Every structure is written in structure tokens, then in C-alpha cells.
Structure 1
């Protein structure tokens, strides 16, 4: 299904995004984002979302869709469409149970492989289901995340109900560790603060998560503050 979305936007050197949306239940629609990385004529889609004909044509004009990257276990509804239509390689971690298609072509983490040069995957090691991030080492570093780290400067592409309730359920207009994600992904008796401390060993200045808005500058500091807010007793 194609949900409301915007146009192609350039956010870096041969890096683009499309902001869209998805229904999380019959009455609430929230934002969703897709990252697009171009290397020569090859296109990599990060957290893919399906597009209308007009914007898909613009996507195809950038180059050939070669790679699909699923960073989070709770995403994937549109991955089979791209895998089938473009015969693109599907990058994903093993073990996710929410969306089990398409078949994984390249397991994230296998041999240090990445879909584009000057990039690396970050793996959360202790979460209940698999979750990754992708660091693109262009410009001053762009970090792509799924549900783990999110940033909101506004609630565009969310419907009126989502805009009303999001500030009250853990999604204020700032950078945060996804509260529902943290609850669902943390094993009993375990803290994930060490995972985020490892992530903060990366260097980046921009952030594009699968929900919310693009943060073009100051992302490292914003993420560090978000981690401290999520783990006040543990983060030193």
C-alpha cells in the first residue's frame, strides 16, 4: 500500500531522502523516512518505503536500485515490492520475526560487507530482535537508524491524532531513544546503555531515522544527550 509521502530531497553528497508515512493502527498514521544513497549509478535504499508513480520515476532517474537495507526488525512491509520489481540485493540481519520476506541476500555483518563505500554497519548486540544503524562517512558523517534513535523537529506526515498524542507518549520535538523500541527490545534484567556507548564511538553530524525528521547538524551531541536522558543512572 502507498501511504502519503513527499518528494525527493537532497540531504548530502549524493544522499537523498523521502519523507512519508504509515498507519500503525486503524486510526493513527505516523511519519516514516527512506534514505537514498547514490554511488556512481547504483542506488541503495535504507528503510525502504513504497512511492507513487511520479516520485518512483524520480527515484529511477537517479540510477539503478541495487541494494535494499533493512535496519530494524519492526520494519519491512515494502521490502518485497522493491526486491521483486528491481531485483535488488536485500541486506538484513537474521532473526527478525515481524517481516520474514524477502529472502536475505546479504546478512548485515557478514565479513564487514557494506552496500556502499565509506560506510560501516553498527550492530546492537543485546537487543531481543536485531537492530542496526548505518554510518555513511561522507560530508561530516550521516547516521541512518531505524527505531532505536529518532529525531522530531515537527510532526509532519502524522495525522491529527498522532500529532495530538505523540508529545505525551514519549515523542517530544527533540532527539530520543525510541521509548517503545527500548521497552520491546530490552531483555529482562539487562540495560542497553552499553550498546549506545558503543554507538557513540562513531563520529557523525547528521541523523536520518526511519521516523521523524532529518537532523542536518549537531546530531552527535543530540544523540549523546538522548542517551543520557534514557539512562540517567548509568550514563556517565
Structure 2
């Protein structure tokens, strides 16, 4: 039997926009020779009976039953280099199609590479690809409800720590400036070293909402809030 990382603590699946769902769970990892525990989000988009998972988070049996009640998982999308822990579990469980950013190691032979302008498993969706980043990273742009960005690590909206943080991680991340609304992920920014021109292109997109791999959904004023952060981090 194939072994996968176990399910960690997580909340319930919530519908935050029509046919767009989010569930927050824990992540445990070692970075800079230190143990970390913090929260991460899985985004679920439903089209008819199909479910598309972005930034996968393995759910426990109760969570999987709730997921199955929404529809059939058909696709798993990996947008960032720093995520992907639980992709293989969902690919195996549902025999789903895998979509990955260029430069990332696929979990299955018939994986499809994400690319700007290429077909995606979501209607009315397009891919934004960071061109200057040292790490592969993308954002999905859904052309509905005024525009929705589905992000991984580049965009974050951690307003405050939640129940999935350990005390040591909370303290370190407070000092590192993680708990900043509509932020560019501090660790991702340091590791990826993106150029300002990527954020000029991103700001040109039309969107009202943003759901990120970390933090709370940012609804209604996402474009204004993130534009302010881009200006702060990449002043002209």
C-alpha cells in the first residue's frame, strides 16, 4: 500500500463565494533547522459535479466525506513550489488529473503543465505566471463575481494567527511580519526574489476577491488592498 503523509488538524469546508470553497488546516515542517506549525488553505472550485482542488490539504475521514458530498474530485492544481505535500494522496484516491507549474516535479506521468494562454480545468479561468521569480509560482484568475484570484504563497492575507499555530511559530512569524493584511508572503519574497514588473502585471488584472494559500479570504476590496502592498514593497 502506498504511504502518504497523514491528515493533520483542519477545520470544516466553507463556501466563501458561489461554488468556491475553502478549508483551513495545519502544516508541520522544518525550515532553517527549526520546527514550524502554521495554517494553510485548500481551495475547492466546483463546476457542475466536478471539483478542482488548489493547494491541497489532506482531510480526515469526516472531511473527505464532506468533500465527496460536494461532487467528484477530477483535478488537482499545484501553483507553488513550496506546496504539494498532499497532492499525491488526492491523485491516488480520485485518479485525478494533475496540473503543475513549469519547473515543478510532477507526481504522475500524465501531468499537465500549466501555462499562460493554455487550457485550464476551469471555465473562464486564466493563469498568471510570475516571470521573474526564482521559484515557480502562479495565480489563477477566475473571471466571475468581479474577478477572483486563487493564489498560493505569493499573496497572503494572514491577519492574525489561528488555532493551527504553535506558540514558537506564532512568535517567530509575528517578528517576521507575516500577520499583515493583503501581504506578499515574506518567506516566498525572500526565496523567490520577484521583480516589480510581475506585480505591475498582476495589478493590471481585474479582481475584487482573493483566496490565498495562507490567511483569510479577502473579499470585495482585494485589488485595492493588494495594490497598496505592492506599492509599499516595490516603490517606484
TM-score past 0.5 threshold: yes
Once residues 166 and 195 of structure 2 are traced to their aligned partners in structure 1, the CA distance between those partners, rounded to angstroms, is 31
TM-score (normalised: structure 1): 0.91
**Consecutive unaligned residues in structure 1, runs of 5 or more:** none
2:204 to 201, 218, 234: 201
State the secondary structure of the residue aligned to 2:15. strand
TM-score (normalised: structure 2): 0.91
In the TM superposition, residue 94 of structure 1 has moved relative to its aligned partner by 2.4
Q: Which residue of 1 aligns with 2:144?
A: 138
Name the Cα RMSD after superposition: 1.6
Q: Which residue of 2 aligns with 1:8?
A: 13
2:230 to 220, 227, 230: 227
Once residues 212 and 110 of structure 2 are traced to their aligned partners in structure 1, the CA distance between those partners, rounded to angstroms, is 22
Q: Which moved more, 1:161-170 or 1:51-60?
A: 161-170
Are residues 1:158 and 2:165 paired?
yes
1:176 to 170, 173, 183: 183
Q: Which residue of 2 aligns with 1:19?
A: 24
Once residues 27 and 124 of structure 1 are traced to their aligned partners in structure 2, the CA distance between those partners, rounded to angstroms, is 29
Q: Which residue of 1 aligns with 2:113?
A: 107
Q: Which residue of 2 aligns with 1:71?
A: 79
Q: Which residue of 2 aligns with 1:167?
A: 174
State the secondary structure of the residue aligned to 1:112. coil
**Consecutive unaligned residues in structure 2, runs of 5 or more:** 1-5
- 1:104/1:194 Cα in 2 relative to 1: closer, same or farther (>3 Å)? farther
State the secondary structure of the residue aligned to 1:4. coil
How many residues get paired? 227
Once residues 177 and 29 of structure 2 are traced to their aligned partners in structure 1, the CA distance between those partners, rounded to angstroms, is 16
State the secondary structure of the residue aligned to 2:149. strand
